[in-house]
Amino acid sequence: MNKFSWYEAKSVEDALGKVNATVSEILAKNGNQTSAIFKAGGVDLLDLMKEGLVRPGMVIGIKNIPGLDKIDYDAKTGLRIGANVSLSEMESNDRIRDQYQALFQAVSHAGTPQIRNSATLGGNLAQRTRCWYFRSIDHDCYRKGSGTCFAQEGENEFHAVMDNQPCASVHSSSVATALLAFNAKVEILSSDGKKREVKMEDFFVHPSKDSRTENILKANEMITAVTVPAAGENIKSYYIKQGARESHDWALADVAVVAEMSGTRCKKAEIALGAASPVPVKAKAAADSLAGKEINEASAVNAGEIAMKNATPLANNGYKVPLFKTIIKRAILKTV
Ligand SMILES: Cc1cc2nc3c(=O)[nH]c(=O)nc-3n(C[C@H](O)[C@H](O)[C@H](O)COP(=O)(O)OP(=O)(O)OC[C@H]3O[C@@H](n4cnc5c(N)ncnc54)[C@H](O)[C@@H]3O)c2cc1C
């Protein structure tokens, strides 16, 4: 790891006055030593630094900025989760557990208790892919701007099975899968004082649009919160993550289903998939197939088939297609 200076930011404005880089920008400038970058929990940033991928000159500690660590709820506007709220604080929040079950399940299955104690929501959304070619300093891969995705012909068992050209990496946030199904928005503040709210589905950037960056954040911007619409009484949700093992691992496949129910009949639904594509995606046609239907084995199986209809698995990840079909079916059946 390189030597760097440490700056403990006192406020959002203070932090935004110092920051001048994102991970993608540092990668573009070969680990530029003049860059100053945010560290929240540090789980991902310090890994990237230890891996030698980023070598910032200054690390700006934002974890202790007052006001970014709150979870608020309003019956009209819904849930507002500050960017510095840790995954374990989300896990122990009664409202998230009772009204946003899929989000609770996603958070409580991320990493390990120790990781969840450090990891913040903002850092979780801005973390970089765990694709082993991206994480290897010896591979100048597509996500680093080279034009070559080594996973296409190489070791691709954990990689994307949909929209996997020109890069087959998957985004590592399983929390985003649940937030996407709940139609959450990301609140972003820029150093010029402008605030914008971006839909979760517009926050992540597919490699076909920009090879280097995985989200829309610019160097002078900070995630300040994530908002999730109010969940009415008839909203039922369920999240399933399948990893190679039960804990301490990222998802091989994960799914969140959020459904407005009337008894066993679904009025409308959202289905989001993680580790399927380079970005968390909605399975819109599959979700639409449930609208107005009884939730039962047949409708749940059918939705899984529709969700995977356009899958284009690579040589070693074909197993993910039946895996997705199964967890989609199971998550749908859990909404009744
Ligand atoms: C073994 C292991 C297993 C894991 N399993 C899972 C899993 O199953 N599911 C899952 O979702 N995650 C998983 N993770 C990832 C972990 O949850 C993330 O690394 C963590 O959430 C990152 O949060 P952080 O606060 O530590 O971010 P940091 O490492 O501090 O920051 C990450 C990035 O975000 C930027 N950043 C941080 N905060 C902000 C902000 N407010 N605004 C703008 N940019 C910001 C930083 O500059 C940096 O580039 C796992 C990690 C490990 C090590």
What is the per-residue pLDDT across 2-29, written as a single tens digit (0 to 9) for each? 899 999 999 999 999 999 999 998 888 8
pLDDT of residue 201: 96
State in Å: Cα 127 to ligand 1 middle. Answer: 5
What's the 44 CA to ligand 1 centre distance in angstroms? Answer: 5
- Residue 1's pLDDT is 81
Query: What mean pLDDT comes out for the span 168-192?
Result: 98
Q: What is the pLDDT of residue 65?
A: 97
Lowest mean pLDDT among 55-59, 79-83, 246-250, 294-298: 246-250
Under DSSP, the state recorded for 110 is: S
CA dihedral 117, 112, 135, 83 (to 10 degrees): -30
Q: What residue's CA is closest to ligand 1, atom 48? A: 45
Write down the pTM of the prediction: 0.97
Percent of the chain with pLDDT strictly greater than 70: 100
**CATH code of domain 1-64:** 3.30.43.10
Q: What's the confidence (pLDDT) of residue 130? A: 97
The predicted structure's pLDDT at residue 33? 84
- Ligand 1 atom nearest to 221, measured from its CA: 43
Q: Name the nearest CA neighbour of 210 among 28, 16, 19.
A: 28
- Residue 59 beta carbon below 6 angstroms from any ligand 1 atom: no
274, 253 Cβ separation under 8 angstroms: yes
Which amino acid makes up residue 203? F
20 lines ligand 1 (CB under 6 A): no
Task: Examine the pLDDT at 53 and tell me if it is beyond 80.
Answer: yes
* Cα-to-centroid distance, 237 and ligand 1 (Å): 24
| CA 61 distance to own-chain centroid | 22
Evaluate whether 180 touches 201 at the Cβ level (below 8 Å): yes
DSSP, collapsed to helix, strand or coil, labels residue 116 as helix
222 within ligand 1 shell (Cβ under 6 A): yes
59 φ, ψ (degrees, to nearest 5): -110, 125
Instruction: Write down the domain spans for the chain.
Output: 1-64, 235-333
- Which stretch of 98-107, 141-150, 174-183 has the lowest confidence by average pLDDT? 141-150
- 175 neighbors 157 (Cβ within 8 angstroms): no
Ligand 1 contact, 41 CB (< 6 A): yes
pLDDT surpasses 90 at 232: no
**Tokens 């970058």 identify what position?**
37
Examine the pLDDT at 300 and tell me if it is beyond 90.
Answer: yes
State yes or no: pLDDT of 247 exceeds 80: no
| pLDDT of amino acid 30 | 77
User: Is-same-fold flag (1-64; 235-333)?
Assistant: no
For residues 319-325, give the mean pLDDT: 98
Residue nearest to atom 4 of ligand 1 (CA): 111
Of 244-248, 275-279, 325-329, the poorest mean pLDDT is in 244-248
Instruction: Say what the alpha-carbon torsion angle 155, 312, 173, 329 is, to the nearest 10 degrees.
Output: -120
**What value does the mean pLDDT of the chain take?**
96
Q: CB within 8 A of 264, min separation 6: which ones? A: 294, 295, 296, 336
Q: What percent of the chain has pLDDT over 90?
A: 93
What pLDDT does 43 receive?
97
pLDDT computed for residue 249 by the predictor: 87
Q: Which CATH number fits domain 235-333: 3.40.50.300, 3.30.390.50, 3.40.640.10, 4.10.520.10?
A: 3.30.390.50
Dist. CA 92–CA 104, nearest whole Å:
9
Contact 62, 85 (CB under 8 A): no
Please check whether residue 171 is in contact with residue 279, taking contact to mean a CB–CB distance below 8 angstroms. Answer: yes
* Rounded Cα–Cα distance for residues 281 and 304 (Å): 14
How many other C-beta atoms lie within 10 A of the C-beta of residue 315?
A: 12
Got the DSSP string for 289-315? Answer: TTTTSB-SHHHHHHHHHHHTTT----T
In this structure, what is the dihedral angle of CA atoms 83, 84, 86, 92, given to the nearest 10 degrees? -70
pLDDT at 245: 85
CB 140 within 8 A of CB 258: no
Q: Which residues contact 331 (CB under 8 A, 6 or more apart)?
A: 238, 239, 240, 255, 256, 257, 271
Q: Identify which of 1, 38, 198 to mutate to test ligand 1's pocket (most ligand atoms within 8 A of the CB).
A: 38
Q: What is the pLDDT of residue 243?
A: 92
Asked if the model's pLDDT at residue 271 lies above 80, the reply is yes
